[in-house]
Amino acid sequence: MSTWLQKSWQTLMGKPESFKQAEAIAKKSSMTAPIKPLDLDLSPSDPLMAYLLSVSGVVEIDRLNLNSPALQKLKQAGVKIAVPLITQGELIGLLNLGPRLSEQDYSSDDRRLLSTLATQAAPALRVAQLVLQQQVDARQRERIDQELRVARVVQQTLLPKAIPDLAGWQIAAHWLPARAVSGDFYDFYPLSDGRLGLVIADVTDKGVPAALVMANTHGILRAAAAQLISPGKVLDRVNNLLCPDIPPNMFVTCFYAVVDPATGHMQYANAGHPTPYQRTAHGLIELRARGMPLGLFPDMPYDEKETVIAPGDSLIFYSDGLVEAHNPQEEMFGNGRLMANLAAPECGEKLIECLVNELNDFTGPGWEQEDDVTFVSLERLRAPLGENPPDENQVILLNTSIPSELGNETQAMEQVARAVQGIGLTAQGLERLKTATAEAVMNAMEHGNHYQTDKPVQIEVKVSVGKLSVQITDFGGRKDLLDPQTPDLEAKLEGLQSPRGWGLFLIKNLVDEMIVHPGSTHHTLELVLNLKEGKS
Amino acid sequence: MTKPFNSSIRRQMDKTTIDLSGEINALAEEELQSAYAEAENSSSIIVLNFSGVSYINSTGIALIVGLMARARKVHRTLAVYGLSDHYYEIFQVTRLADFIQIFPDEASVMV
Chain A residue whose CA is closest to B67: A493
Report pLDDT for A383: 64
Picking from A428, A435, A493, the nearest residue to B69 by CB comes out as A493
- Range A159-380 classified under CATH 1.20.1250.20: no
Q: Is B1 part of any domain?
A: no
Contact at CB, A509 and B93, closer than 8 angstroms: yes
Asked if A439 lies within 8 A of B96 by C-beta distance, the reply is no
Q: Report if residue B47 sits inside a domain.
A: yes
A-chain residues near B86 (CB < 8 A): 428, 431-432, 435
Query: Residue A233 class from Cβ within 10 Å (0-12 exposed, 13-18 middle, 19+ buried)?
Result: middle
* Chain B interface residues (partner A, CB cutoff 8 A): 1-2, 23, 25-27, 55, 57-59, 61-63, 65-66, 68-69, 72-73, 84-86, 89-90, 93-96, 98-99
Counted across chains A and B, CB pairs separated by less than 8 A come out at: 74
- Give A-chain residues touching B22 at CB under 8 angstroms: none
Which residues from A are below 8 Å from B57, CB to CB? 409, 435, 438-439, 442
Residue of A nearest to B98 (CA): A489
**What does the angle CA A371 – CA A279 – CA A348 come to, to the nearest 5 degrees?**
85
In chain A, whose CA is at the least distance from the CA of B91? A506
Q: Which residue of A has its CA nearest to B1?
A: A411
- Among the partner residues B58, B68, B89, nearest to A503 by beta-carbon distance: B58
How many domains does one find in chain B? 1
- CATH number for the domain spanning B99: value is 3.30.750.24
Q: Are A477 and A523 spatial neighbours (Cβ–Cβ below 8 Å)?
A: yes
**What CATH number does domain A395-530 carry, 3.30.450.90, 3.30.930.10, 3.30.1240.10, 3.30.565.10?**
3.30.565.10
Does residue B103 belong to any structural domain of this protein?
yes
Task: Kindly write down the DSSP assignment for every residue of B37-53, as one continuous string.
Answer: HHHHHH-SEEEEEEEEE
Q: Chain-wide mean pLDDT for chain B?
A: 93
For residues A34 and A30, what is the distance between their CA atoms, to the nearest angstrom?
9
- CB–CB of B43/B17 below 8 Å? no
Of A406, A427, A493, the CB nearest to B65: A493
C-alpha span between B83 and B87 (Å, rounded)? 6
Most B CBs within 10 Å, among A405, A408, A410, A505, to test the B interface: A410
Closest residue to A506, CB basis, from B1, B55, B58: B58
- Could A500 and B62 be called an inter-chain contact, meaning their C-beta atoms sit closer than 8 Å? yes
Task: Look at the alpha carbons of A501, A502, A504, A508 in this order and tell me if their dihedral is positive or negative.
Answer: positive
Q: Is A428's CB within 8 Å of B85's CB?
A: yes
Using only the alpha carbons of chain B, give its radius of gyration.
Answer: 13
Q: Using CB atoms, which residue from B26, B73, B95 is nearest to A489?
A: B95
Annotated domain spans of chain A: 2-131, 159-380, 395-530
Provide the whole-model pTM: 0.47
* d(CA A409, nearest CA chain B) in Å: 9
pLDDT at A347: 65
pLDDT at A145: 85
Interface membership of A428 toward B (CB under 8 Å)? yes
CB atoms inside a 10 Å sphere around CB A397: 18
Do A506 and B94 make contact, defined as CB atoms within 8 angstroms? yes
Q: What is the mean pLDDT of residues B48-73?
A: 95
Q: Are A499 and B58 in contact (CB < 8 Å)?
A: no
**pLDDT, tens digit only, all 536 positions of chain A:** 333 333 333 344 333 333 333 333 333 333 444 456 677 888 889 999 999 988 878 999 999 999 999 999 999 888 999 999 998 888 888 999 988 888 888 888 988 999 999 989 899 999 998 999 999 999 998 988 888 888 888 778 888 988 898 888 989 888 888 777 778 899 999 988 889 999 999 998 777 888 888 889 999 999 999 888 899 999 999 999 999 989 888 999 999 999 998 888 899 999 999 999 998 877 888 999 999 999 999 999 999 998 888 888 899 999 988 888 888 888 889 888 888 888 776 665 578 888 888 888 888 887 777 788 898 999 988 765 444 445 556 787 888 778 888 888 998 999 999 888 878 888 899 999 999 999 999 999 988 888 887 778 889 898 887 889 999 988 876 655 555 678 999 999 998 889 998 999 999 999 999 988 876 667 889 999 988 776 66
Query: What is the extent of the structural domain holding B76?
Result: 6-108
> Which of B23, B61, B68 lies at the smallest CB-CB distance from A493?
B68
Residue in B1, B59, B86 nearest the CB of A411: B1
CB contacts of B32 in chain A (<8 Å) are none
Q: In whole angstroms, what is the distance from residue A506 CA to residue A434 CA?
A: 11
The phi-psi region of residue A319 (left if phi > 0; otherwise alpha if psi is between -120 and 50; otherwise beta) is beta
**Residue A481, pLDDT score:** 52
Q: With contact defined as beta carbons under 8 Å apart, do A390 and A313 qualify?
A: no
pLDDT at residue B77 tops 90: yes
State which CATH number among 3.60.40.10, 3.90.550.10, 3.30.450.40, 3.30.930.10 fits the domain covering A2-131: 3.30.450.40
- The CA distance from A108 to A113, in Å, is 9
- Hey, are the CB atoms on A428 and B89 less than 8 Å from each other? yes
